[in-house]
Amino acid sequence: MTDIDDKLQQIKDNNLFRTPKYLSKGQEKHTNVDGRDVLLMSTNNYLGLSSDENVKQAAIKAIEKYGLGSGGSRLTSGSYDVHKKLEEKLAKFKGYEACLVFNTGYMANLGVISTIASDEGYYIFSDQLNHASIIDGCRLSKAKTIIYKHNDMQDLEEKIKENKPSKGMIVSDSVFSMEGDIANIPQIVELGKKYNLLTLVDDAHATGVIGKTGHGSCEYFSTKPDIIIGTLSKAIASEGGFACSSREIIDFLLNKARSFIYSTALTPAVICGSIESLDVIENNSEIVEKLADNIAYTCTKLKEIGFEISRETAIIPIPIGQEDIAVLYSQRLFEEGVFIPAIRYPTVAKGESILRLTLMATHDYEDIDKFIDILSRIKRELSESI
Ligand SMILES: *Cc1c(COP(=O)(O)O)cnc(C)c1O
Protein backbone atom coordinates (compact mmCIF):
# COMPACT_ATOMS: atom_id res chain seq x y z
CA MET A 1 0.00 0.00 0.00
CA THR A 2 2.89 2.30 0.78
CA ASP A 3 6.58 2.05 0.15
CA ILE A 4 7.47 2.90 3.73
CA ASP A 5 8.86 -0.57 4.41
CA ASP A 6 11.13 -0.20 1.37
CA LYS A 7 12.30 3.19 2.57
CA LEU A 8 12.89 1.88 6.08
CA GLN A 9 14.88 -1.06 4.72
CA GLN A 10 16.98 1.36 2.72
CA ILE A 11 17.78 3.34 5.89
CA LYS A 12 18.85 0.08 7.56
CA ASP A 13 20.91 -1.05 4.57
CA ASN A 14 22.83 2.23 4.68
CA ASN A 15 23.64 1.87 8.39
CA LEU A 16 21.51 4.93 9.09
CA PHE A 17 18.74 3.39 11.20
CA ARG A 18 18.48 5.16 14.55
CA THR A 19 16.94 4.30 17.89
CA PRO A 20 16.97 6.45 21.03
CA LYS A 21 18.83 5.45 24.16
CA TYR A 22 16.95 6.07 27.39
CA LEU A 23 18.28 7.81 30.49
CA SER A 24 16.95 6.86 33.89
CA LYS A 25 18.90 9.53 35.77
CA GLY A 26 19.60 13.22 35.24
CA GLN A 27 21.69 14.89 32.57
CA GLU A 28 24.80 14.69 34.76
CA LYS A 29 28.27 13.44 33.98
CA HIS A 30 27.59 10.18 35.84
CA THR A 31 24.26 9.00 34.59
CA ASN A 32 22.45 5.84 33.56
CA VAL A 33 21.65 5.06 29.95
CA ASP A 34 19.73 1.94 28.92
CA GLY A 35 20.45 0.42 32.31
CA ARG A 36 24.20 1.06 32.20
CA ASP A 37 26.12 3.51 34.42
CA VAL A 38 28.08 5.71 32.06
CA LEU A 39 30.22 8.81 31.85
CA LEU A 40 28.14 11.27 29.83
CA MET A 41 30.23 13.05 27.21
CA SER A 42 27.50 14.06 24.81
CA THR A 43 25.22 16.51 26.54
CA ASN A 44 24.46 20.12 25.62
CA ASN A 45 24.07 20.79 29.34
CA TYR A 46 27.55 22.31 29.09
CA LEU A 47 27.67 24.00 32.48
CA GLY A 48 25.91 21.22 34.37
CA LEU A 49 23.12 23.60 35.39
CA SER A 50 20.28 21.18 34.65
CA SER A 51 20.83 19.66 38.11
CA ASP A 52 22.09 22.80 39.87
CA GLU A 53 20.40 23.01 43.26
CA ASN A 54 19.29 26.65 42.86
CA VAL A 55 17.97 26.04 39.36
CA LYS A 56 15.96 23.03 40.49
CA GLN A 57 14.56 24.92 43.48
CA ALA A 58 13.50 27.83 41.25
CA ALA A 59 11.47 25.45 39.08
CA ILE A 60 9.96 23.67 42.08
CA LYS A 61 8.93 26.96 43.69
CA ALA A 62 7.36 28.06 40.40
CA ILE A 63 5.28 24.89 40.23
CA GLU A 64 4.10 25.51 43.78
CA LYS A 65 3.12 29.08 42.91
CA TYR A 66 1.77 28.70 39.37
CA GLY A 67 0.97 24.99 38.93
CA LEU A 68 2.29 23.04 35.97
CA GLY A 69 0.80 23.99 32.61
CA SER A 70 0.70 27.58 31.32
CA GLY A 71 -2.85 27.16 30.05
CA GLY A 72 -2.74 29.35 26.98
CA SER A 73 -0.74 30.81 24.15
CA ARG A 74 1.29 33.93 24.87
CA LEU A 75 -1.22 36.30 23.26
CA THR A 76 -4.25 34.84 25.04
CA SER A 77 -3.97 33.76 28.68
CA GLY A 78 -0.50 32.16 28.76
CA SER A 79 1.82 35.14 29.42
CA TYR A 80 3.04 35.39 33.00
CA ASP A 81 5.00 38.05 34.87
CA VAL A 82 7.99 35.70 34.71
CA HIS A 83 7.92 35.55 30.89
CA LYS A 84 8.36 39.30 30.90
CA LYS A 85 11.11 39.11 33.50
CA LEU A 86 13.01 36.48 31.49
CA GLU A 87 12.71 38.50 28.28
CA GLU A 88 14.08 41.60 29.98
CA LYS A 89 16.90 39.58 31.48
CA LEU A 90 17.85 37.96 28.17
CA ALA A 91 17.80 41.29 26.33
CA LYS A 92 20.21 42.68 28.91
CA PHE A 93 22.36 39.52 28.92
CA LYS A 94 22.83 39.81 25.16
CA GLY A 95 22.99 43.61 25.04
CA TYR A 96 19.83 44.28 23.00
CA GLU A 97 16.79 46.49 23.35
CA ALA A 98 14.20 43.72 23.44
CA CYS A 99 13.66 39.97 23.44
CA LEU A 100 10.93 37.48 22.62
CA VAL A 101 10.86 33.99 24.11
CA PHE A 102 9.67 31.12 21.90
CA ASN A 103 8.92 27.56 22.99
CA THR A 104 12.10 26.16 21.46
CA GLY A 105 15.12 27.40 19.55
CA TYR A 106 13.74 25.50 16.58
CA MET A 107 10.51 27.49 16.73
CA ALA A 108 12.44 30.74 17.16
CA ASN A 109 14.35 30.20 13.91
CA LEU A 110 11.25 29.03 12.08
CA GLY A 111 9.22 32.01 13.28
CA VAL A 112 11.83 34.73 12.93
CA ILE A 113 13.17 33.79 9.51
CA SER A 114 9.83 33.02 7.87
CA THR A 115 8.23 36.19 9.30
CA ILE A 116 10.98 38.59 8.31
CA ALA A 117 11.60 37.02 4.91
CA SER A 118 7.93 36.87 3.99
CA ASP A 119 8.03 38.90 0.77
CA GLU A 120 8.76 37.76 -2.74
CA GLY A 121 12.01 39.29 -3.86
CA TYR A 122 13.65 38.82 -0.44
CA TYR A 123 17.03 37.09 -0.35
CA ILE A 124 18.49 34.91 2.39
CA PHE A 125 22.20 34.15 2.35
CA SER A 126 22.68 31.06 4.50
CA ASP A 127 25.84 29.18 5.55
CA GLN A 128 26.07 25.69 4.08
CA LEU A 129 26.30 24.10 7.55
CA ASN A 130 23.54 26.06 9.29
CA HIS A 131 21.29 24.21 11.71
CA ALA A 132 18.21 22.37 10.38
CA SER A 133 15.89 24.89 12.08
CA ILE A 134 17.46 27.70 10.02
CA ILE A 135 17.08 25.63 6.86
CA ASP A 136 13.42 24.97 7.69
CA GLY A 137 12.87 28.67 8.45
CA CYS A 138 14.24 29.47 4.99
CA ARG A 139 11.96 26.85 3.44
CA LEU A 140 8.91 28.37 5.12
CA SER A 141 9.84 31.88 3.99
CA LYS A 142 9.02 33.38 0.59
CA ALA A 143 12.66 34.30 0.06
CA LYS A 144 15.11 33.01 -2.44
CA THR A 145 17.72 31.17 -0.35
CA ILE A 146 21.32 31.28 -1.49
CA ILE A 147 23.72 28.89 0.24
CA TYR A 148 27.31 30.06 0.66
CA LYS A 149 30.32 27.87 1.40
CA HIS A 150 30.89 27.15 5.05
CA ASN A 151 32.23 30.24 6.81
CA ASP A 152 33.66 31.46 3.50
CA MET A 153 33.29 35.26 3.54
CA GLN A 154 34.65 35.68 0.05
CA ASP A 155 32.05 33.27 -1.34
CA LEU A 156 29.36 35.08 0.66
CA GLU A 157 30.32 38.47 -0.76
CA GLU A 158 30.51 37.11 -4.31
CA LYS A 159 27.04 35.60 -3.97
CA ILE A 160 25.66 38.90 -2.64
CA LYS A 161 27.19 40.77 -5.57
CA GLU A 162 25.88 38.24 -8.08
CA ASN A 163 22.31 38.50 -6.81
CA LYS A 164 22.17 42.24 -6.08
CA PRO A 165 19.44 41.92 -3.46
CA SER A 166 17.37 45.01 -2.72
CA LYS A 167 16.32 43.41 0.56
CA GLY A 168 17.52 40.38 2.41
CA MET A 169 19.46 38.92 5.29
CA ILE A 170 22.56 36.93 6.10
CA VAL A 171 21.97 34.01 8.45
CA SER A 172 24.55 31.97 10.32
CA ASP A 173 25.10 29.77 13.35
CA SER A 174 27.76 31.33 15.56
CA VAL A 175 29.04 28.00 16.90
CA PHE A 176 28.24 25.28 14.38
CA SER A 177 26.33 22.46 16.04
CA MET A 178 28.24 19.54 14.55
CA GLU A 179 31.59 21.14 13.69
CA GLY A 180 32.01 23.17 16.86
CA ASP A 181 33.81 25.93 14.92
CA ILE A 182 32.96 29.63 15.17
CA ALA A 183 31.60 31.77 12.31
CA ASN A 184 33.31 34.97 11.27
CA ILE A 185 30.60 37.16 12.78
CA PRO A 186 32.46 40.52 12.56
CA GLN A 187 32.81 40.02 8.80
CA ILE A 188 29.17 38.95 8.46
CA VAL A 189 28.09 42.10 10.31
CA GLU A 190 30.31 44.22 8.09
CA LEU A 191 28.95 42.67 4.89
CA GLY A 192 25.43 43.20 6.23
CA LYS A 193 26.15 46.93 6.67
CA LYS A 194 27.93 47.24 3.34
CA TYR A 195 25.09 45.67 1.33
CA ASN A 196 22.21 46.84 3.53
CA LEU A 197 21.20 43.34 4.63
CA LEU A 198 19.90 42.27 8.03
CA THR A 199 22.17 39.92 9.96
CA LEU A 200 20.86 37.03 12.05
CA VAL A 201 23.18 34.93 14.20
CA ASP A 202 22.14 31.78 16.04
CA ASP A 203 23.94 31.57 19.39
CA ALA A 204 22.49 28.20 20.47
CA HIS A 205 25.86 26.63 21.27
CA ALA A 206 27.60 29.91 22.12
CA THR A 207 25.50 31.12 25.05
CA GLY A 208 27.16 30.09 28.31
CA VAL A 209 30.20 28.82 26.40
CA ILE A 210 32.09 31.51 24.46
CA GLY A 211 32.92 35.04 25.52
CA LYS A 212 34.87 35.63 28.68
CA THR A 213 31.79 35.47 30.89
CA GLY A 214 29.73 33.17 28.67
CA HIS A 215 27.53 35.76 27.01
CA GLY A 216 28.10 34.26 23.58
CA SER A 217 29.27 35.55 20.24
CA CYS A 218 28.60 39.27 20.85
CA GLU A 219 30.91 39.20 23.84
CA TYR A 220 33.46 36.95 22.11
CA PHE A 221 33.77 39.27 19.11
CA SER A 222 32.54 42.60 20.58
CA THR A 223 30.11 42.86 17.72
CA LYS A 224 26.37 43.03 17.28
CA PRO A 225 24.29 41.50 14.51
CA ASP A 226 20.73 42.82 14.04
CA ILE A 227 19.15 39.69 15.49
CA ILE A 228 20.49 37.09 17.91
CA ILE A 229 18.67 33.79 18.20
CA GLY A 230 19.30 31.52 21.14
CA THR A 231 18.08 28.51 22.99
CA LEU A 232 17.44 27.99 26.68
CA SER A 233 17.84 24.24 26.31
CA LYS A 234 21.61 23.96 26.07
CA ALA A 235 23.95 25.67 28.55
CA ILE A 236 20.96 27.40 30.19
CA ALA A 237 19.80 23.82 30.86
CA SER A 238 16.07 24.50 30.70
CA GLU A 239 13.73 24.78 27.72
CA GLY A 240 12.80 27.42 25.20
CA GLY A 241 14.24 29.64 22.49
CA PHE A 242 14.55 33.38 22.06
CA ALA A 243 15.24 36.25 19.69
CA CYS A 244 16.95 39.49 20.77
CA SER A 245 16.79 42.57 18.57
CA SER A 246 15.42 46.11 18.35
CA ARG A 247 12.05 46.87 19.94
CA GLU A 248 10.60 47.35 16.45
CA ILE A 249 11.63 43.91 15.18
CA ILE A 250 10.53 42.21 18.40
CA ASP A 251 7.10 43.91 18.26
CA PHE A 252 6.76 42.79 14.67
CA LEU A 253 7.62 39.18 15.56
CA LEU A 254 5.24 39.18 18.51
CA ASN A 255 2.45 40.18 16.15
CA LYS A 256 3.35 38.01 13.20
CA ALA A 257 5.49 34.97 14.00
CA ARG A 258 3.19 31.97 13.74
CA SER A 259 5.38 29.62 15.79
CA PHE A 260 5.12 32.19 18.61
CA ILE A 261 1.41 32.89 18.29
CA TYR A 262 -0.10 29.46 17.72
CA SER A 263 1.48 27.40 20.45
CA THR A 264 0.88 27.19 24.20
CA ALA A 265 3.33 29.25 26.25
CA LEU A 266 6.17 27.64 28.16
CA THR A 267 5.26 26.73 31.71
CA PRO A 268 6.42 29.18 34.43
CA ALA A 269 8.51 26.35 35.94
CA VAL A 270 10.93 26.24 32.99
CA ILE A 271 10.86 30.04 32.71
CA CYS A 272 11.89 30.41 36.36
CA GLY A 273 14.53 27.71 35.90
CA SER A 274 15.98 29.71 32.97
CA ILE A 275 16.01 32.95 35.00
CA GLU A 276 17.90 31.24 37.81
CA SER A 277 20.35 29.64 35.36
CA LEU A 278 21.20 33.04 33.91
CA ASP A 279 21.80 34.33 37.44
CA VAL A 280 24.11 31.39 38.19
CA ILE A 281 26.14 32.16 35.05
CA GLU A 282 26.27 35.89 35.87
CA ASN A 283 27.46 35.21 39.40
CA ASN A 284 29.86 32.32 38.75
CA SER A 285 31.94 33.01 35.67
CA GLU A 286 34.43 30.42 36.96
CA ILE A 287 32.19 27.64 35.58
CA VAL A 288 32.58 29.16 32.12
CA GLU A 289 36.35 29.25 32.68
CA LYS A 290 36.40 25.62 33.86
CA LEU A 291 34.61 24.56 30.69
CA ALA A 292 37.18 26.43 28.57
CA ASP A 293 39.97 24.74 30.49
CA ASN A 294 38.42 21.29 29.90
CA ILE A 295 38.15 22.05 26.18
CA ALA A 296 41.85 22.96 25.92
CA TYR A 297 42.92 19.95 28.00
CA THR A 298 40.83 17.51 25.93
CA CYS A 299 42.13 18.83 22.60
CA THR A 300 45.72 18.37 23.80
CA LYS A 301 44.97 14.82 24.93
CA LEU A 302 43.17 13.92 21.70
CA LYS A 303 46.17 15.14 19.74
CA GLU A 304 48.43 12.83 21.76
CA ILE A 305 46.43 9.80 20.62
CA GLY A 306 46.34 10.85 16.98
CA PHE A 307 43.25 13.01 16.54
CA GLU A 308 44.20 16.50 15.34
CA ILE A 309 41.46 18.67 16.74
CA SER A 310 41.55 22.22 17.99
CA ARG A 311 38.44 23.87 19.30
CA GLU A 312 37.37 26.76 21.47
CA THR A 313 33.86 25.49 21.98
CA ALA A 314 32.33 22.60 23.92
CA ILE A 315 31.59 20.67 20.73
CA ILE A 316 34.55 18.57 19.69
CA PRO A 317 33.77 16.42 16.65
CA ILE A 318 36.02 13.36 16.39
CA PRO A 319 36.17 12.52 12.68
CA ILE A 320 35.57 8.84 11.91
CA GLY A 321 34.18 8.75 8.35
CA GLN A 322 32.37 5.57 7.46
CA GLU A 323 28.91 5.19 9.04
CA ASP A 324 29.37 1.60 10.25
CA ILE A 325 32.77 2.35 11.84
CA ALA A 326 31.36 5.38 13.67
CA VAL A 327 28.58 3.20 15.07
CA LEU A 328 31.14 0.57 16.10
CA TYR A 329 33.18 3.20 17.97
CA SER A 330 30.11 4.46 19.74
CA GLN A 331 29.03 0.91 20.70
CA ARG A 332 32.48 0.02 22.01
CA LEU A 333 32.69 3.26 24.01
CA PHE A 334 29.29 2.50 25.49
CA GLU A 335 30.38 -1.01 26.50
CA GLU A 336 33.35 0.58 28.24
CA GLY A 337 31.09 3.02 30.09
CA VAL A 338 31.32 6.22 28.00
CA PHE A 339 28.29 7.60 26.19
CA ILE A 340 29.02 9.43 22.92
CA PRO A 341 26.67 8.89 19.98
CA ALA A 342 27.79 8.50 16.39
CA ILE A 343 26.46 11.31 14.20
CA ARG A 344 25.70 10.23 10.66
CA TYR A 345 24.03 11.40 7.46
CA PRO A 346 21.78 13.40 7.12
CA THR A 347 23.02 15.36 10.16
CA VAL A 348 26.49 15.37 8.61
CA ALA A 349 27.56 14.57 5.03
CA LYS A 350 27.66 10.96 3.79
CA GLY A 351 30.94 9.24 4.67
CA GLU A 352 31.82 12.00 7.15
CA SER A 353 30.43 10.51 10.34
CA ILE A 354 31.72 11.81 13.61
CA LEU A 355 31.67 11.06 17.28
CA ARG A 356 30.18 14.22 18.71
CA LEU A 357 32.05 14.71 21.94
CA THR A 358 30.76 17.52 24.13
CA LEU A 359 32.29 18.64 27.39
CA MET A 360 30.81 19.92 30.60
CA ALA A 361 32.20 22.26 33.24
CA THR A 362 31.58 19.46 35.73
CA HIS A 363 33.96 17.04 34.01
CA ASP A 364 37.37 16.87 35.66
CA TYR A 365 40.75 15.81 34.29
CA GLU A 366 40.24 12.32 35.70
CA ASP A 367 37.06 11.86 33.63
CA ILE A 368 38.79 13.15 30.52
CA ASP A 369 41.86 10.92 31.07
CA LYS A 370 39.60 7.90 31.51
CA PHE A 371 37.78 8.69 28.26
CA ILE A 372 41.05 9.22 26.38
CA ASP A 373 42.44 5.87 27.60
CA ILE A 374 39.34 4.03 26.46
CA LEU A 375 39.17 5.83 23.11
CA SER A 376 42.81 5.17 22.39
CA ARG A 377 42.37 1.44 23.19
CA ILE A 378 39.34 1.19 20.89
CA LYS A 379 41.18 3.05 18.13
CA ARG A 380 44.02 0.49 18.28
CA GLU A 381 41.58 -2.42 18.41
CA LEU A 382 39.57 -1.22 15.44
CA SER A 383 42.56 -0.32 13.29
CA GLU A 384 43.91 -3.83 13.84
CA SER A 385 40.64 -5.52 12.97
CA ILE A 386 39.77 -3.49 9.84
C1 LIG B 1 19.83 23.11 19.17
C2 LIG B 1 19.81 24.18 18.17
C3 LIG B 1 18.63 24.83 17.87
C4 LIG B 1 17.31 24.37 18.41
O5 LIG B 1 17.14 24.73 19.73
P6 LIG B 1 16.06 23.93 20.59
O7 LIG B 1 15.77 24.81 21.73
O8 LIG B 1 16.70 22.63 20.98
O9 LIG B 1 14.88 23.69 19.70
C10 LIG B 1 18.68 25.90 17.00
N11 LIG B 1 19.83 26.29 16.42
C12 LIG B 1 20.99 25.66 16.67
C13 LIG B 1 22.24 26.14 16.02
C14 LIG B 1 21.01 24.58 17.54
O15 LIG B 1 22.15 23.95 17.77
- CA separation for the pair 238, 267 (Å, rounded): 11
- CA separation for the pair 209, 296 (Å, rounded): 13
Q: Nearest-CA neighbor of 260 among 96, 117, 112, 70? A: 112
pLDDT of residue 1: 62
pLDDT of residue 185: 98
Tens of pLDDT, residue by residue over 155-212, are: 999 999 999 999 999 999 999 999 999 999 999 999 999 999 999 999 999 999 999 9
- For ligand 1, the distance from its centroid to the CA atom of residue 204, given in whole angstroms, is 6
What three-state secondary structure class fits 103?
coil
pLDDT of residue 382: 87
pLDDT of residue 2: 82
206 lines ligand 1 (CB under 6 A): no
- CA separation for the pair 331, 73 (Å, rounded): 42
105 lines ligand 1 (CB under 6 A): yes
- For ligand 1, the distance from its centroid to the CA atom of residue 265, given in whole angstroms, is 18
Q: Nearest-CA neighbor of 229 among 99, 65, 349, 360? A: 99
259 lines ligand 1 (CB under 6 A): no
Model confidence, pTM: 0.96
Cβ contact 101:268 at 8 Å? no
- HSE of 30 in the Cβ direction (CA atoms, 13 Å)? 4
Helical residues (DSSP H) of the chain, grouped into ranges:
4-13, 53-66, 81-94, 105-116, 132-140, 153-163, 185-194, 217-221, 247-256, 258-261, 268-283, 285-304, 323-335, 365-385
106 lines ligand 1 (CB under 6 A): yes
- CA separation for the pair 386, 201 (Å, rounded): 42
Rg (CA), the chain: 21
- For ligand 1, the distance from its centroid to the CA atom of residue 202, given in whole angstroms, is 8
Res. 386 pLDDT band, cuts 50 70 90: low
| Mean pLDDT (whole number) for 301-315 | 92
For the CA of 239, the nearest atom of ligand 1? 7
Helices and strands, number each (H, E), in the chain: 14, 13
- For ligand 1, the distance from its centroid to the CA atom of residue 381, given in whole angstroms, is 35
- For ligand 1, the distance from its centroid to the CA atom of residue 173, given in whole angstroms, is 10
- CA separation for the pair 143, 363 (Å, rounded): 44
List the residue whose alpha carbon is closest to atom 8 of ligand 1: 105
Cβ contact 292:103 at 8 Å? no
pLDDT value at 14 more than 90: no
Residues annotated catalytic, as ranges: 177, 205, 234
For the CA of 205, the nearest atom of ligand 1? 15
Tens of pLDDT, residue by residue over 83-132, are: 999 999 999 999 999 999 999 999 999 999 999 999 999 999 999 999 99
Distance between alpha carbon 76 and the CA centroid of its chain, in Å?
29
241 lines ligand 1 (CB under 6 A): yes
- CA separation for the pair 81, 101 (Å, rounded): 13
Cβ contact 138:125 at 8 Å? no
Contact residues for 207 (Cβ-Cβ < 8 A; gap 6+) = 214, 215, 216, 230, 231, 234, 235, 236
| Mean pLDDT (whole number) for 52-72 | 98
Tens of pLDDT, residue by residue over 333-380, are: 999 999 999 999 988 999 999 999 999 999 999 999 999 999 999 999
